[in-house]
Structure 1
Amino acid sequence: MPTVPEPQQPVPVIIDCDTGVDDALALLLAVRHPGLDLRAVTCVAGNTDVEGVVRNTLTVLEQAGAPDVPVARGAERPLIEAVRTARHVHGHDGMGDLGLPAPARVPVDVDAVTLLHREILASPRPVTLIPTAPATNIALLLRTHPEITRNIERIVFMGGAVATGNATPVAEFNVWHDPEAAAILLGAGVPITMYGLDVFQRVIVPGPDVRRLRASTEPGTRLAGELLAHRGPATDESDPGGGLGDAGAVCAVIDPAGLTTQRLPVEVCLAPGPGRGQTLVDRRGRVGEAELHGDTREQPLVDVGLDVDVARYVELYLTAVEQPRGLAA
């Protein structure tokens, strides 16, 4: 008689975010996909100020019908730089100015680093961290509690770029907002996947699907549609689609096979000037003259996202968010 395989347990995850339209899309997926156990959400300044991030996060969880997931307020500014928000992208309230009601939920009475430390150590299985924001909270955690890495399975972060940036010609916003924190994250000593702009910008939900979500009477599904409609970019001017953005990093945790990666040396440019915040990804097939002449600095090896199965991740997302928690396929 053939043996029946054991059902896979949900992956314990913690999202660190700066909610943010596409962070909200990521939260909706994490709440609704049965393959994930969302243990906590921590908030950091980025797309908007940290108070707005907390409010937006609680609102999304409420609209999604999430269980009582603990949410904590984190860093209100980067380690060194001043706050530089992206309200021109995400709206004045950071959530597309959709006019959503204020949440009834409240954050926990501990800070983000304390909550991260507590929930990581309390998890019976190693946790996957999904930072979709500047890495300030994660850097503070790693510097304050370096022993925490013993119960971290992997970090899958949205950030960086191999090719072109968006905050600058070479730097992606999350890394540019706090380069020192990103450098600390890359040196965490745990497996790391970089879901950068090279794949981030490619995963677009087609216009007809966005319209269907927006027409739903279920609050979480409808919210996903409204957020996608705000996101753009247009795939068809008469029927625009919307980018999944940060939600793609969550897809990469649920279905790693949909993301093509290569393990490469990566470092963050910390020097002042136009290159600050760039993720320098070494794709050379052999050493160069710099190494031959004594530049032997060790660089963290990172699984860098280079290609993505767009249709696969779009289907994964739609299947999950169009059904209440526990009913997704």
Structure 2
Amino acid sequence: MGKRRATRFPGKRRLRRERKAGKAKGQDSLNILMQRPSWSAGRACRRISVKEEAPYTDLQNKVDKPPFERSMIDLEKKIPLIIDTDPGVDDAFCMLLANSSDRVEIRAITAVAGNVPLCHTKENARRLAGMMGLRGTRVAAGAEKPLIVPQETAEMAHGKNGMGGLELPETDKELDLLPAWDVIYEECKKAEGEMQIVAVGPLTNIAIALLKYPELKGLIKHLIIMGGAQTTGNHSPYGEFNVWADPHAAEIVFQAGVPMTMIDLDACHMSYLTDEEYDTFVGMKNRYSENFFEFMAKREEERKSRMAGTPFAGKHSPPDAVTIAALLDEDLFTYEWLPVSVETHGPCMGRTVVDYRNREGKTPNCRVVRGADRQRFVNLFYKMAEVYAK
């Protein structure tokens, strides 16, 4: 196959038209990133050399067996943790749940554009970190836009500021001077191969970090993402929002050779609180009851009306909280190692393709949820309320 001719980066309107038509010009080549001067990570990517004919090959890590197992968890040590997030109402639950555990040490919180633009997600991350008293935790801003596709947000679900209109208390917590991908690399290097990352937004920051620092994949012990769907999506018939919002970044991460677990929409639907359980949780008075949990309860009442008559009625399942729960309780889910890839173009763009029978003989690259113990998730929520009541 001959060398592809250089392609001029299309404008936003043209990309939007092509996305609707099932195309994404230049989707086969990451060199297109270096041609986009308006992209916030342009400086980082211009230093990255990527082969035109096989853009992801250099990141792949062929292994003979799954690279992460429960036996690798040391229950006596605190887990060094980075949360990559786009806060987001359920992202806030994720951060609060992580902070309530004595098993983790949150080393950094990195913000990415997703549910709402970066100007809101980085501010929400900064204020949430301050509200939780995370003095030694770095908070950094990351990518403002997806790698290639036009940016689309989920303000209809999270409100204009991402927190459904809730104004988080101001804090003297400052943003890190370095961008998110540099903070991710520095903290992983400090952790000497023990770092775990929970990514609950689009995977743009993680993809940039892996591209800029090829050695990073060997420094990450485990990556858990909230993203993808084994059956149906939530933002399109096939695509879950986090993967759909930046499918090229997701495909880079899935094929990078990092030990990873996918907490997809189907896993989240297995882990939920009933109306009665959620009311019990909100009624457990603690330091965040009045200014956060009760506000979230009002938001849930709005959600109830939207979910009425659907299979999800009466079920409270904040996806990002489910994802951090998978880290805190390894017995919450049962898993299977399977090959997973991401559709980056066409009408199914953003779909996570799980090859259950491994017809192509690929090395399994991801732990996929196959079952759940719902009560363990409920117990984690109750325990969080008890911890914050002290």
Give the TM-score taking structure 2 as reference length. Answer: 0.73
Report percent identity of matched pairs: 33
Question: Residue 256 of structure 1: CA displacement?
Answer: 1.6
Q: Give the 3 Å change call, closer, same or farther, for CA 213–181 of structure 1 in structure 2.
A: same
Q: Give the 3 Å change call, closer, same or farther, for CA 205–162 of structure 1 in structure 2.
A: same
The answer to whether the aligner puts 1:256 opposite 2:330 as a matched pair is: yes
The answer to whether the aligner puts 1:165 opposite 2:233 as a matched pair is: yes
Residue aligning to 1:3: none
Residue aligning to 2:134: 66
Question: Where do 5+ consecutive residues of structure 1 fail to align?
Answer: 1-5
Amino acid corresponding to residue 317 of structure 2 in structure 1: G
The answer to whether the aligner puts 1:184 opposite 2:252 as a matched pair is: yes
CA RMSD of aligned residues (A): 2.5
Question: Residue 156 of structure 1: CA displacement?
Answer: 0.6
The answer to whether the aligner puts 1:311 opposite 2:375 as a matched pair is: yes
The answer to whether the aligner puts 1:89 opposite 2:157 as a matched pair is: yes
CA contact (8 A) 1:28 1:220 kept: no
Question: Residue 189 of structure 1: CA displacement?
Answer: 1.1
Question: Residue 137 of structure 1: CA displacement?
Answer: 0.2
The DSSP-based 3-state class of the residue aligned with 1:318 is: helix
- After TM superposition, the structure 1 = structure 2 runs for residues 19-98 of structure 1, keeping only pairs within 5 Å, are 19-98=87-166
CA contact (8 A) 2:284 2:385 kept: no
Aligned residue among 276, 286, 296 for 1:227: 296
Q: Give the 3 Å change call, closer, same or farther, for CA 240–219 of structure 1 in structure 2.
A: farther
Residue aligning to 2:33: none
The DSSP-based 3-state class of the residue aligned with 1:83 is: coil
CA contact (8 A) 1:155 1:190 kept: yes
Question: Residue 113 of structure 1: CA displacement?
Answer: 0.8
Q: Give the 3 Å change call, closer, same or farther, for CA 53–102 of structure 1 in structure 2.
A: same
Task: State the number of aligned residues.
Answer: 310
The answer to whether the aligner puts 1:199 opposite 2:273 as a matched pair is: no
CA contact (8 A) 2:87 2:125 kept: yes
Amino acid corresponding to residue 387 of structure 2 in structure 1: Q
Deviations 1:73-119 (A, max 9, x none): 00000000122110100111101212333333221111101111111
CA contact (8 A) 1:205 1:244 kept: no
The DSSP-based 3-state class of the residue aligned with 1:100 is: coil
User: What is the CA–CA distance in structure 2 between the aligned matches of 1:313 and 1:165, rounded to whole Å?
Assistant: 22
Is 123-132 or 59-68 further displaced after alignment? 59-68
Residue aligning to 1:245: 319
CA contact (8 A) 2:281 2:381 kept: no
Which of 1 and 2 has greater Rg?
Answer: 2
The answer to whether the aligner puts 1:138 opposite 2:211 as a matched pair is: no
CA contact (8 A) 2:344 2:350 kept: yes
The DSSP-based 3-state class of the residue aligned with 1:257 is: coil
The answer to whether the aligner puts 1:265 opposite 2:353 as a matched pair is: no
Question: Where do 5+ consecutive residues of structure 2 fail to align?
Answer: 1-73
CA contact (8 A) 1:210 1:229 kept: no
User: What is the CA–CA distance in structure 1 between the aligned matches of 2:203 and 2:115, rounded to whole Å?
Assistant: 13
Aligned residue among 105, 114, 121 for 2:173: 105
CA contact (8 A) 1:113 1:140 kept: yes
Question: Residue 303 of structure 1: CA displacement?
Answer: 0.6
Is 311-320 or 71-80 further displaced after alignment? 311-320
